[in-house]
Amino acid sequence: MKTLRTLLFTLITTATLLAAPSTHAQSQTQQTQTQDIRAGEQSAKERKRAARERRIAERATKSTELKVREGKTPRYSALLKSTSYQLMFREGLRYYNMTKKNSDRNSIYNYRRAQSLFYTAISSQTFAGVPQEDSIYYYYGCSFYMAQDFQTSQDIFDNFRRRYGASPFTEDADYKFAMGFYFLSPEPQHDQSVTIRAMSAITEYLGRYPETTHREVCDERMGELQRKLHTKTYENAKLYYNIGQYKAAVRALNNAIDLYPDSPFREELMYLATRSAYLFARNSVQGQMTDRYMAMMDNYYNLVSEFPETKHLREVEQMRDEARAYIDIRTSDDATAEENDTPAATTTPAMPAVPTTITTN
């Protein structure tokens, strides 16, 4: 009896195992069929959507063409949905030129309409390889430039310069590319890497088009950019003076003088270098004061030789007198000590009061 039950259990288990693959295969088949149905439904939806968009485009195209035949201006929204790409280009130019001439309060709005029309026409590939290709691409960049989106316009003009080197619009694209950097240049208190890039781009433009009608504007804007760099360098160097880091201040101020010899802050930089050197020497340990006062005298002579009538003359002369007095006393003490074969005095000579006022631009 026990053997019969064991045999029966074995038969049932074997039958179950044999049926399992069939059940699994049926499940996989059902999943595949479900996926096919869903894919078919999705494809049908996409076909319906594409057909609906084509009908909308056809109606919009007929509407815009009818408006043109009647001598009327087509609606912007209908035009944007149509396939009248040549008309898009013409209307984009109309929005662009209308805003450029009138400079009305809707200027940015109209430039953005022109951008959308130009972009749609370009994306259609209708103008690829035809004589108008460079024209629409150029005005596409101009619409961003005039809307003061200089970052986008630079990308477009840079691409334009590379693709359409023989175009009659190339020089103006180069000019607007360089001017984009000028308009993006920040105030002097910010990082000036864009300012340096702007100066490089303008210099490159002038070198490429030496007879350009924009030379006067370029020279004027190069001067503005240069002044930003002068101001930034001056403020950076002066910062060390303001926080009392006189040794670093002397180095930074003299570096600024050497870097921009034509800086409008040159006199002030030389004065601050002299005063920083003076304060650095005055606050040094006794063993280093003589050498540092002598270094301060070098800065003093550089200042008064170049600016003999400097507004800081009285103050720097007081510094000079103090430095000379200290150097003379130390030299005298050293000479006496050498004659008597005794150590020099270790006391610091009495110093006049430090000038407490500073006049800066």
Write the pLDDT tens digit of every residue in 262-285: 999 999 999 999 999 999 999 998
287 pLDDT tier (thresholds 50, 70, 90): confident
| Within-domain flag for 308 | yes
Of 54-68, 246-260, 303-317, the range with the lowest mean pLDDT is: 54-68
| Within-domain flag for 247 | yes
Dist CA 224 CA 340 (whole Å) = 64
44 pLDDT tier (thresholds 50, 70, 90): low
| Within-domain flag for 243 | yes
| Within-domain flag for 2 | no
Report pLDDT digits (tens) over 159-218.
Answer: 999 999 999 999 999 999 999 999 999 999 999 999 999 999 999 999 999 999 999 999
> 5-40 as b/e, with b when 16 or more CB fall inside 10 Å?
eeeeeeeeeeeeeeeeeeeeeeeeeeeeeeeeeeee
Q: What is the CATH number of the domain that holds 304?
A: 1.25.40.10
- Which range of residues forms the domain containing residue 248? 235-340
pLDDT of residue 22: 52
Of 118-127, 226-235, 329-338, the range with the lowest mean pLDDT is: 329-338
| Within-domain flag for 279 | yes
| Within-domain flag for 270 | yes
| Within-domain flag for 241 | yes
| Within-domain flag for 227 | no
Structural domains counted in the chain: 1
Dist CA 179 CA 221 (whole Å) = 9
Q: What tokens appear for 352 in the block? A: 């006049």
Dihedrals phi, psi of 94, to nearest 5 degrees:
-65, -45
